Structures are given as structure tokens and as C-alpha cells.
């Protein structure tokens, strides 16, 4: 027993040594002090932990990483959204690239690399940083809080409506690169903003351990889009923590097109009446990829609504996980909460684990959840074939229609059209099924 514990401690120390070149001054912030203490006591998540039951992190924790700045990327046209004007914030291997970014803003909008914001907006950073993240209880959240490389701080002033989206582009072009991006968004009263956060691999492999905190003040609206398109050898853990005040709308759409191991933790606290929460997800897996979406929507106040729809298409020997949990507290009467997870398996070797959950302590609510997993509907294929459609094209039409259900929720038209094309192209070779 003692030997096993010593072995675990040795592995953790070896893993953390990848990041010890970063600033670990405990006087820098309360959150960092808390996270350092947590790292001393927390172990790597294992499948014995219900929260990590289907996701093995050994591929992450056993690898060696580097955090060397690289600015070899000069052309980011492939990672921009053609036809869409945005505020652009670019990070290469976790480090801010001023040359590739375009963050000139108007009055009422502040966009800064978080490292710079710590110096220029110290009081605001201390007010919000680490107040929502799970760094006291979750290993990778604590890792990010201590060793975050950079990220972006965004503040939208009261009553401001951002005229164009903010696009945060994270590019990896190194072998065994590791970075801990930390983002902080403060959207003040009655403000509106659209955020696109994309993760791309130019070359090599990487471990991305991202944490984003979003404060949605009274009457504000936030549309968030997470685009994940990294290499088959890349790993990502992405934590998003949101606090909604009264009469707010927070909508997030997560599109996972590629990645060796991807874990998304989306945690929402609904702390104000009259608020709406929308979480949508689409994940397409192939090879031996593993995609895990965990969501928590915590209804604390009455008269609120939440909607969750996650859809996956699994090919080859890939695996997908959805675990969505909705809490309805005793004071949260008149809550309307809906969850749906649908999975399509393209092979006998593909797997899907689905667990939508409701935990309700109020009695005047309308809550429902559902889950379906199956293969392509052969009756529908037969129907299309009787209308003159080839079997290959019929299968492609069924798969694309299944996936496009999520894309209909994307409000940025050119972004939706770009993703529709990418998904259609992905299933061109569906004839081999």
C-alpha cells in the first residue's frame, strides 16, 4: 500500500515538473494559493471517480511536455472564418501573438491578454479570477490556476452591444506542446457579445488544459461557440464556468470535429430569475478518438429555463460520453429544464455512454430528459432508395441531417455555413460503410 502511494506521488511529481518553470508565487493571488494547496492533496482522476468514469487520463499524465514559445506561424487564414469580421486574439502554443491578433476596440469594450490585464486591471482580475473555477476540487482546474500560460480578459461595459464577434484562435504547431489558457469574460448589465473560441493543430501534438470563467450580469446576453479541431494525437481538457444573474441569456454551442482525447466540462450557475440557458453540442469521432461532454446546470432561482441537446456520430472504434446533470434547488420553482442526447453509431466497434440526470428539490417544475443511441435507420435508407437515391448518398443524407440539427442553433450565418460544408465533406466517403 505504501509503495503504491509512493508510486502515485512520484508520477504526479513527474507530471507537474513539466510546468514548474512557470511562476508559482503563492502571494500572486488567493486563487493560486488555493490551487497550489489543492494540487498537493488531489490525485489524478481515475475511472473509480464517477465524474471521470469513462475517461482515462493516463495518456495525458504519462507524457512529457514542453512550454517553449513558438511564433513560426505566419499565415492564419485557414483558421479564420471567411467573410466574418471579428476581433481576433491569437495564441500560438499558448503564447499571445500580437502580430497575428487584431484587438483594437471601441469605447465600452476591453480585450486584453490576461497577462497584461493582471498589470493594468489588477483590481478587476482579483475581483473575478478564480471565483467560479473548480480549482479546489478538480485536479486539472487546479493545474490551470497555478500554471496558466496566458489567455484573454474581456470586459463588455454596461449597455454595450459588440458589433462583431470576438474570435480567440488557439494554434499548436509543436511536438508535445502543453499549455494552460485562462480566459475571463465579464459581460456587464444589458450588454451583448458573441464569442468564438477555436482550437486548431497546425502540426505536431499537444495537451491543452483550458479554463474559462464567464460572468453574465443582469440583462446581458452571451452567445458562445467552441470549435475543436485538433490532431488525432492531441489531448484537451476544457472547463467553462458560467454565472448568470437575473434576466440573462447564455447560449453555448460546442462543435468537436477532431481530437484524440477531448473532455469538456461546462458548469452553469443560474443565480437570477427570468434567465435562459442553452447548451448545444455536436461531436464527430473516428479512429480511436474519445470525446467526453460533462455539463452541470444548477437552477438556484425560480422562473428560469434551460435546454440541452447534444448529438454525436461515432465511427470506427471511437468512443463518446455525455453526462448532463440538472439541479433544481428548492427555491427554483417554475423551472423548465430539458435535456436530450442522441448518438449514431456507424460501426459495431463504436461506443456511446449517455447519462442525462435530473436532481429536483422543487415541486412546481417542468423537467424532462431523454437519450437514444442506435445505427443509421435502415427503413429511412430504404425509403430514400425507392425515391431514386443511391444507398451511399442516402446514408450520407441521413448522417448529415442528423448532425445538422445542432448547426441550426448557430446564429452567425457564415460560421454555420462553414461548418455545414466541413461536415458534408467529412462524409463524402460514406460509401465504405
Q: Is the pLDDT of residue 70 over 70?
A: no
**Buried/exposed code over 410-422 (b: 16+ C-beta within 10 A; e: otherwise):** bebeebbebbbee
- The listed range with the strongest mean pLDDT (77-81, 113-117, 201-205, 210-214) is 210-214
- Cβ–Cβ under 8 Å, residues 214 and 185: yes
Say if CB 211 and CB 241 are below 8 A apart: yes
pLDDT of 425 reads 85
Give the C-alpha separation, 177 to 342, whole Å.
34
Closest CA to 218 of 298, 272, 268: 272
Q: CB-side exposure of 353: number of CA atoms within 13 Å?
A: 16
Lowest-pLDDT choice from 109-113, 221-225, 264-268, 270-274: 109-113
Q: What is the mean pLDDT of residues 105-110?
A: 82
- Which range has the worst mean pLDDT, 31-45, 340-354, 393-407? 393-407
pLDDT exceeds cutoff 90 at 173? no
Helix, strand, or coil (residue 133): coil
With 0-12 CB in 10 A as exposed, 13-18 as middle and 19+ as buried, what is 27?
A: exposed
Between CA 27 and CA 145 the distance in angstroms is: 13
Say yes or no to pLDDT of 398 above 90.
no
> CA Rg, the chain, in Å?
21
Tell me the C-alpha distance between 402 and 396, whole Å: 10
In whole angstroms, what is the distance from residue 388 CA to residue 213 CA? 51
Res 268: pLDDT: 98
Residue 6: pLDDT over 60: no
Under the banding of pLDDT at 50, 70 and 90, the label for residue 175 is confident
pLDDT at 7 over 80: no
Does the pLDDT at position 233 exceed 50?
yes
Q: Name the 3-class secondary structure at 387.
A: coil
| pLDDT tens readout for residues 287-314 | 999 999 999 999 999 999 999 999 999 9
pLDDT recorded at residue 429: 47
Check whether 35 has a pLDDT greater than 90. yes
Look at residue 27 in the predicted model and tell me its pLDDT: 45
| Confidence label for 71 from pLDDT (cuts 50, 70 and 90) | low
The average pLDDT across 369-378 equals 85
Per-residue pLDDT tens for 118-139? 999 999 999 999 999 999 999 9
pLDDT at 103 over 50: yes
SS3 content of the chain, % helix, strand, coil (to 5): 25, 40, 40
Bigger pLDDT: 365 vs 93: 365
- Report the C-alpha gap between 158 and 144 in whole angstroms: 29
284 closest CA partner among 251, 259, 309, 253: 259
Decide: helix, strand or coil at residue 12: helix
3-state secondary structure at position 143: helix
Strand pairing category for 95-96 and 276-285:
unpaired
CA-nearest of 115, 66, 114, 69 to 95 is 69
Q: Is the pLDDT of residue 1 over 60?
A: no
pLDDT of res. 309 = 98
What's the whole-number average pLDDT of the chain? 90
User: 431: pLDDT confidence band, cut at 50, 70 and 90?
Assistant: very low
Amino acid at each position: 500500500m505504501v509503495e503504491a502511494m509512493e508510486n502515485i506521488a512520484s508520477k504526479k511529481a513527474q507530471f507537474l515538473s513539466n510546468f514548474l518553470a512557470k511562476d508559482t508565487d503563492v502571494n500572486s493571488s488567493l486563487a493560486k494559493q488555493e490551487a497550489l494547496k489543492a494540487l498537493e492533496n488531489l490525485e489524478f482522476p481515475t475511472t473509480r471517480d464517477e465524474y471521470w468514469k469513462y475517461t482515462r487520463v493516463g495518456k495525458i499524465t504519462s507524457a512529457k511536455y514542453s512550454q517553449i514559445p513558438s511564433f513560426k506561424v505566419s499565415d492564419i487564414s485557414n483558421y479564420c472564418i471567411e467573410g466574418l469580421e471579428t476581433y481576433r486574439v491569437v495564441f500560438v502554443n499558448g503564447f499571445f501573438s500580437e502580430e497575428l491578433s487584431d484587438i483594437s476596440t471601441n469605447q465600452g469594450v476591453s480585450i486584453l491578454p490576461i497577462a497584461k490585464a493582471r498589470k493594468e486591471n489588477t483590481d478587476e482580475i482579483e475581483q473575478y479570477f478564480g471565483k467560479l473555477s473548480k480549482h479546489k476540487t478538480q485536479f486539472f482546474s487546479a493545474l490551470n490556476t497555478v500554471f496558466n500560460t496566458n489567455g484573454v480578459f474581456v470586459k463588455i461595459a454596461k449597455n454595450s452591444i459588440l458589433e462583431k464577434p470576438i474570435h480567440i484562435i488557439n494554434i499548436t504547431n509543436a511536438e508535445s506542446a502543453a499549455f494552460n489558457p485562462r480566459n475571463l469574460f465579464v459581460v456587464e448589465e444589458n450588454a451583448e457579445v458573441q464569442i468564438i473560441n477555436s482550437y486548431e493543430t497546425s502540426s505536431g501534438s499537444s495537451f491543452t488544459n483550458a479554463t474559462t470563467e464567464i460572468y453574465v450580469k443582469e440583462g446581458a446576453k452571451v452567445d458562445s461557440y467552441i470549435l475543436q479541431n485538433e490532431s488525432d494525437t492531441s489531448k484537451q481538457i476544457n472547463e467553462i464556468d458560467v454565472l448568470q444573474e437575473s434576466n440573462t441569456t447564455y447560449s453555448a454551442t460546442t462543435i468537436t470535429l477532431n481530437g484524440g482525447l477531448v473532455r469538456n466540462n461546462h458548469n452553469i450557475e443560474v443565480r437570477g430569475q427570468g434567465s435562459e440557458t442553452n447548451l448545444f453540442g455536436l461531436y464527430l469521432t473516428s479512429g480511436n478518438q474519445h470525446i467526453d461532454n460533462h455539463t452541470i446546470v444548477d437552477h438556484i432561482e425560480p422562473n428560469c429555463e434551460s435546454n440541452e441537446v447534444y448529438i454525436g456520430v461515432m465511427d470506427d472504434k471511437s468512443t463518446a460520453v455525455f453526462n448532463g446533470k440538472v439541479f433544481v434547488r428548492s427555491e427554483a420553482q417554475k423551472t423548465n429544464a430539458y435535456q436530450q442526447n442522441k448518438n449514431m453509431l456507424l460501426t459495431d466497434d463504436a461506443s456511446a455512454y449517455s447519462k442525462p440526470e435530473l436532481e429536483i428539490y422543487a415541486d412546481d417544475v417542468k423537467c424532462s430528459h431523454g437519450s437514444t443511441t442506435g445505427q443509421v435507420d435502415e427503413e429511412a435508407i430504404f425509403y430514400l432508395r425507392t425515391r431514386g437515391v443511391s444507398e451511399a448518398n442516402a446514408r450520407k443524407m441521413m448522417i448529415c441531417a442528423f448532425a445538422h440539427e445542432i448547426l441550426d442553433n448557430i446564429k452567425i450565418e457564415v460560421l454555420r455555413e462553414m461548418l455545414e460544408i466541413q461536415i458534408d465533406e467529412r462524409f463524402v466517403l460514406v460509401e465504405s460503410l
